[in-house]
Structure 1
Amino acid sequence: MTDHLPTLGRRWPRIGVTGSAGRRGGRLWPLHALSLLMAGAVPRRLVPGADVEQVDDLDALVIGGGDDIGASVYGGDVMLDVRIDPARDAFELAALERAERRGLPVLGVCRGAQMLNLSRGGTLHQDMYAVYRETPRRRTVLPRKRVDVAPRTRLRRLLGRAVTGVNSLHHQAVDRLGAGVRVAARDQHGIVQAIEVPGRRFFLGVQWHPELLFYRGRQAGLYRGLARAARRHRRLAVGRHHSSDVR
């Protein structure tokens, strides 16, 4: 989808999007790509088996949604009725480690938000319905779930509102927060719906799928915010490179 954008690739920030390999992982990729192109960024698809050093050529990173995260990543009990992708788990943790080292802006989507929390030592509820028993077992791609956004958060600034409607396709959820992580949004049942790390230029995870809501301006604002952060990161990186050349 982005092979014919060589000129834009020189001027626009490059943002990688992780996902599963094969056809299953390709279903959401076009929507991420569209959302990033609309935000003024060039998307790059990253899948398990690829060289994780590709992250070093990026200006930002999206950890996408998909299969459940393996219990071995956070010390949970193995459940036989879930679909996992250990190769992807390892690849994304390695990608996040490289992104952290370079200070890359990062957006986590659904599973990706959970992975952001795990990368900082947090844990998950393997089945949120077992903990939040009053939560309806209803999944929808439509923005029918109400989410309350915490004040004075990056998410609040990006969305521009205290309450937003989102889709819901998950059954795992953030449990114990990782180091430096704070809750940016919850739903009416108290389930964590967004996290972020204050002090990082952009490190935000949302439990919903904004790429499925690209037609809603406020949700598209998450990608615009990521693209702005990526452009700033690119300018700073170029400035550091030029300074080292002068020395």
Structure 2
Amino acid sequence: MNPRPIIGVTGSHTGGLAAWWSCRLAIGFCGGRARRITVSSPADIQSIDGLIIGGGADVSPSLYTDEPDENEAVWREFRWKNLVSAIVFAPFFLVLRLLLSTKNPRTIDQMRDTLEKELIQQALARDIPLLGICRGAQLLNVVCGGTLLRDISSMYEEVPRLRTILPRKQVQLAGGSKLAACTGTNVLLVNALHDQAIDHAGEEILVCAREESGIVQAIEHSKKTFTIGVQWHPEYLVYRRDQRALFCALVDATRKTIKEKTCKTG
């Protein structure tokens, strides 16, 4: 029998329940077990087989720039083939997020930054499969020495900016990328809930997806087995096969890692 890998899912200790339950559903569907990790409920990297760094608060600019942030003190806390599934499931995730999400999305949580930064460093050192979602992708890039755009509003002067939980934004995936391989496509429809984005890629970080405006939508580590960061929220799109595939690829990668470790120790 295939093992059920334990996937740690990070999030805010003061909210983020919609993302947590959505990730838990996606991981369970793909054969894994989700474990919630927060500042108030941390976990040792050795107690999990895979890791999801979830979305939420903005990454603190202090992690990737020496410039002062005047706002930091204030920032406290459809494709037709999928039409039927979208009609059935999309309203569920929309209502779930409305009911469980906090009202202050643009926050800075330095304690969470510290926790997740350490987890990312440990996961990279051990080559533990990792998926970064929205802020998780941004923090992954920062940990690897990259930088972020602190406000993407100016990037949409000529291209209308979408902000939606529904899959209405088209992104182009790089051919031959791990992301394209696990989703089975070079074009994805995704949602958009972010205010920051990746600017300069970190060391050994490859940009593997962009949107029409040129904003980076996904990255992956060139030297690791499975380390991918996506700017959108696939946990709210698990009714789409190409988005579920991302979670299933993560779970499959953890199974492979467990098997390899067992062979080495056995």
TM-score, normalisation: structure 1: 0.89
Distance 1:26 1:224 in 2: 21
Structure 1 gaps, min length 5: 1-7, 243-247
Pairing 1:66-85 to 2, within 5 Å after superposition = 66-75=56-65, 76-80=67-71, 82-85=106-109
Distance 1:125 1:199 in 2: 25
CA deviations over 1:3-52 (Å, ceiling 9, x no partner): xxxxx9x9311110000003x12221000000000011011100013344
- Deviating beyond 6 angstroms after TM superposition, the runs of 4 or more aligned structure 1 residues are none
Contact 1:129 1:135 in 2 (8 A): no
Over the matched positions of the two proteins, sequence identity in percent amounts to 40
Please state whether the residue corresponding to 1:204 is helix, strand or coil: strand
Contact 2:182 2:246 in 1 (8 A): yes
CA positional deviation for 1:97: 1.2
Distance 2:222 2:265 in 1: 27
Contact 1:104 1:233 in 2 (8 A): yes
CA positional deviation for 1:127: 0.3
Distance change >3 Å, CA 48–CA 135, structure 1 → 2: farther
Cα-Cα RMSD: 1.6
Matched, 1:31 2:55: no
Distance 2:149 2:68 in 1: 10
CA positional deviation for 1:132: 4.7
Distance change >3 Å, CA 79–CA 31, structure 1 → 2: farther
Structure 2 gaps, min length 5: 76-105
Pairing 1:58-69 to 2, within 5 Å after superposition = 58-69=48-59
Please state whether the residue corresponding to 1:138 is helix, strand or coil: coil
CA deviations over 1:167-194 (Å, ceiling 9, x no partner): 0000100001000001110000000000
Distance 1:150 1:157 in 2: 10
Please state whether the residue corresponding to 1:27 is helix, strand or coil: helix
CA deviations over 1:155-177 (Å, ceiling 9, x no partner): 11112112111000001000010
CA positional deviation for 1:114: 0.4
Contact 1:56 1:98 in 2 (8 A): no
Please state whether the residue corresponding to 1:205 is helix, strand or coil: strand
Pairing 1:205-224 to 2, within 5 Å after superposition = 205-224=229-248
Matched, 1:160 2:184: yes
Matched, 1:18 2:10: yes
Pairing 1:39-118 to 2, within 5 Å after superposition = 39-52=30-43, 54-75=44-65, 76-80=67-71, 82-118=106-142
Q: State which of 205, 215, 239 in structure 2 corresponds to 1:181.
A: 205
Distance 1:157 1:83 in 2: 34
Alignment-derived partner of residue 230 in structure 1: 254
Distance 2:30 2:42 in 1: 26
Please state whether the residue corresponding to 1:11 is helix, strand or coil: coil
Q: State which of 124, 134, 138 in structure 1 corresponds to 2:158.
A: 134
Distance change >3 Å, CA 93–CA 211, structure 1 → 2: same
Contact 2:162 2:169 in 1 (8 A): no
CA positional deviation for 1:69: 0.9
CA positional deviation for 1:135: 4.2
CA positional deviation for 1:79: 4.1
TM-score, normalisation: structure 2: 0.83
Distance change >3 Å, CA 135–CA 20, structure 1 → 2: farther
